[in-house]
Amino acid sequence: MVDAQRRAPVLVGVDGSAGSEAALRWAYRTAALECRPVTALLAWTADGLPRNVYREATAASHRGLTRAAAEMLDRSVARVPMPDPPVEVSTRVVNTDTVSALLQHGEQAAMTVVGAAGHGPLGRLLVGSVSQGLVHHASRPVVVVRGTDVGERSDQRPMIVGVDGSPASLAALRWAAERASLCRVPLRLIHAYALSATPLPQRLEKIYQGLREHGWRVLDEATATVEGTFDVAVTADAVVDAPGRTLVRESSSAQLVATGARGHGGFAALLLGSTGHQCVLHAACPVAVVRP
């Protein structure tokens, strides 16, 4: 079972767009570090074909469309430089909607990687469709690749994790810590807290003091867990601000932001549609959403 998990592929959604090729570059680097193969998958349907395949639709048979999709996938893969040492890459074309295909094949993958934006008649790989469908429903980690400077071996920026002590945030912590250790980059833990309503002034300082003390307890416990398991330099910060705004702001100096699919306490908004949703939409770097 352990060997099978170690050999589980990095699954990448590809549609020929620059966004999906950035996702493939990120996947190559990660697969090389983790000694995993990569599966590049292109899914197509009659109502959501990638643009180059769509041009063939009026004259081509189903077989012709499948061949056009496979050729476009091969061209996309060929445009993305292979890392050194190279990784094992396989390609797969399926005639079904993109979200269903990635969810199905992602069950056997170590993670699923998609670009922040793609192209096609319906914009099927735009954030809000494919990536949101994946982060809401995938059982395995999902990485939405944002930004253009991804996949570089020389990137020494830290990986950031939103931590609140919940099972989901601790799963994201372990996931990010393993990768930060492999990349030999620092890991930064952030606990953000802010009141959704303003209490009476005489209670404000006491409430925030309690939140601050709780946040540092959570961070201390998380730091101890990571330092006892992973070979990685860890720093921690408790921040008085909204969680989503905090992580999006800090993403400009990070190479990855990891969040749990659900949280509580300071990161109560880690339910997708709030903090995780904001990061997937607005972060300046790749975002990983991890379920416990």
pLDDT tens digit sequence for 88-102:
999 999 988 899 999
- pLDDT at 78 > cutoff 80: yes
152 in a structural domain: no
What is the spatial distance between Cα 128 and Cα 150, in angstroms, rounded to a whole number?
A: 21
Instruction: Give yes or no: residues 101 and 230 share one domain.
Output: no
Q: Which amino acid is at 267?
A: F
Minimum mean pLDDT among 47-61, 133-147, 247-261: which range? Answer: 47-61
Looking at residues 181-199, what average pLDDT do you find? 86
**Confidence check: pLDDT of 31 > 70:** yes
Domain count, the chain: 2
Band (158; pLDDT cuts 50, 70, 90): very high
At position 157, the amino acid (one-letter code) is R
What is residue 143's DSSP assignment? E
Asked if residue 123 and residue 21 are part of one domain, the reply reads: yes
> For the domain that residue 232 is a member of, what is the CATH number?
3.40.50.620
Average pLDDT, the chain: 84
The side-by-side arrangement of strands in the sheet containing 89-94 is: 89-94, 38-43, 10-13, 111-115, 142-145, 287-290, 256-260, 159-162, 187-193, 234-240
Residue 8: how many CA atoms within 13 Å on its side-chain side?
16
> Rounded to an integer, what distance in angstroms lies between the CA atom of residue 90 and that of residue 12?
10
Q: Is 57 helix (H, G, I), strand (E, B) or coil?
A: coil
Q: What one-character-per-residue DSSP string does 219-282 give? A: HHHHHHHHHTTS---EEEEEEES-HHHHHHHHGGG-SEEEEESS--GGGGGGSTTSHHHHHHHH
Tell me the residue length of the chain. Answer: 292
Does residue 192 belong to any structural domain of this protein? yes
pLDDT value of residue 228: 85
Of the candidates 203, 216, 193, 199, the one whose C-alpha atom is nearest the C-alpha of residue 268 is 193
Q: What's the average model confidence in pLDDT over 268-285?
A: 72
The reply to whether 116 and 166 lie within a common domain is no
Instruction: Look at residues 114, 145, 176 and tell me which one is the last residue of a structural domain.
Output: 145
More confident residue, 270 or 222: 222
Q: Read off the tokens for 28.
A: 């190559």
CB 235 within 8 A of CB 186: yes
Identify the residue whose tokens are 């921040």.
239
**Containing structural domain, residue 110:** 2-145
| Residue 6, pLDDT above cutoff 80 | no
Tens of pLDDT, residues 197-252 = 666 566 777 888 888 899 999 999 999 999 989 999 999 999 999 888 999 999 99
80 in the same domain as 53: yes
pTM value is 0.87
Q: Give residues with Cβ within 8 angstroms of 110, minimum separation 6.
A: 5, 8, 9, 10, 34, 36, 140, 141
CB 188 within 8 A of CB 172: no
Which residue do the tokens 């949101």 mark? 132
Q: What is the mean pLDDT of residues 15-25?
A: 91
Mean pLDDT over residues 11-15, rounded? 95
* CA pair distance 120, 126, nearest whole angstrom: 9
Look at residue 154 and tell me if it is in a domain.
no
Shared-domain flag, residues 116 and 234? no
Q: What Rg do the C-alpha atoms of the chain give, in angstroms?
A: 20
User: Which of 145, 178, 195 lies at the terminal end of a domain, its last residue?
Assistant: 145
Is residue 151 in a domain?
Answer: no
Predicted local confidence at residue 269, as pLDDT: 40
Statement: residue 71 has pLDDT above 70: yes
Domain boundary among 145, 177, 203: 145
Residue 87 falls inside a structural domain:
yes
Q: Does one domain contain both 107 and 205?
A: no
